[in-house]
Amino acid sequence: RYPVNVVKWTPEGRRLITGSSSGEFTLWNGLTFNFETILQAHDSAVRAMNWSHNDNWMVTGDHSGVIKYWQSNMSNLKMFQGHKEAIRDLTFAPSDTRFATCSDDSMIKIWDFNTGTEEKALSGHGWDVKCVDWHPYKALLASGSKDNLIKLWDPKTAKNITTLHGHKNTVLALQWNQNGNWLVTAGRDQLVKVYDIRTMKELQIFRGHKKEICSAKWHPQHERLLATGGSDGSLMFWMVGQDQPAGEQETAHESNVWSLDWHPVGHILVSGSNDHTTRFWTRPRPGELSTGKFDSSQQFEEEQVPSKPEHDQRQQYTELPPFRPNIMPSQNKLEPPPFRPAGARRKYWPEAPVKNY
């Protein structure tokens, strides 16, 4: 059991991959939420992972600055030293021909995917660069740093286009909205900000977290919805245009929520935490109150969640039980074949009990 640093759905949503501080990948079945296998992927903590848009490749970065390429069957085909210090984030260009990484060495680097060679080095941040994201369809990068700054870059020229001074402490997370106009940023000042790059101004500020914010993720289908995770283990949900949270779980985890990822369809949110657990969240159906907890050893606990008072209009997100029938049509046809990654260290765990609700 180790802290879960990164969680990432496979592009088709059939599996979830988590990266831990031990350097291991843990693979979960995305339909039954059962443990599949563990793979020793890196020699140091996994810090970043992302899939190419064409669904064929996953690239990961670790605490030692090493970058690795993985096929969908988890075969490692390439590795090289990318940075001198820990890699904190990585992101693919819309074309998948390039990707960018950021590091505690204060650098952002752009790589040619096919050759694994460095094309550009973007310098300008005065301290660790904690997050980077490529615009969904433009030649534009956004980065956030321990110097409290958000910078926008032209990846073709490696020039800094503009700098946003909206945070008073480290910027730990940022992401472009798929509409291409909004950029969400979050950090140690406990603020979530949404910028509209058409005006280069703040569109909205969300206040509600009581501790620093470690992660932020836009919903893949609902343009205005996003989720954030805090260092106190809290999860909060926000809607652009509304000041109050759309939902919250104050005790979602017992420690930092390092990573969030929505299922591609958008019906499940996964959170990875410093408390060594990976948890699956969804809005409950009317009358459903039971929850389940998952961690890397596939332990399962049940508990009852008290219903919310009628006057509280916030949506309550609850953890999923191990199996939910009819999540999607033709579920049995979508069941992936048995997974057999090369070099995996096999562990077998009893399946969690099936629970219909």
pLDDT above 80 (res 323):
no
**Cα(28)–Cα(9) distance, integer angstroms:** 9
Average pLDDT, the chain: 84
Token reading at 317: 């997100």
pLDDT in tens, 180-210: 999 999 999 999 999 999 999 999 999 999 9
pLDDT in tens, 110-154: 999 999 999 999 998 989 999 999 999 999 999 999 999 999 999
pLDDT of 74: 93
**Cα(336)–Cα(209) distance, integer angstroms:** 38
Instruction: Give the residue carrying structure tokens 């569109």.
Output: 203
Which tops the pLDDT comparison, 337 or 10? 10
With beta carbons less than 8 A apart as the criterion, state whether 151 and 178 touch.
Answer: no
pLDDT of 307: 28
Instruction: Give the residue carrying structure tokens 């990432």.
Output: 8
pLDDT of 126: 87
Q: Which domains does the chain have, with CATH numbers?
A: 4-26+40-334 (2.130.10.10)
**Cα(109)–Cα(48) distance, integer angstroms:** 14
pLDDT of 135: 98
pLDDT of 296: 34
Residue 34 — φ and ψ, nearest 5°?
A: -90, 150
With beta carbons less than 8 A apart as the criterion, state whether 144 and 130 touch.
Answer: yes
pLDDT in tens, 205-249: 999 999 999 999 999 999 999 999 999 999 999 999 999 999 999
pLDDT in tens, 13-47: 999 999 999 999 999 998 888 899 999 999 999 99
pLDDT in tens, 267-317: 999 999 999 999 999 976 665 554 434 333 332 222 222 223 333 334 445
pLDDT of 257: 98
**Cα(131)–Cα(141) distance, integer angstroms:** 11
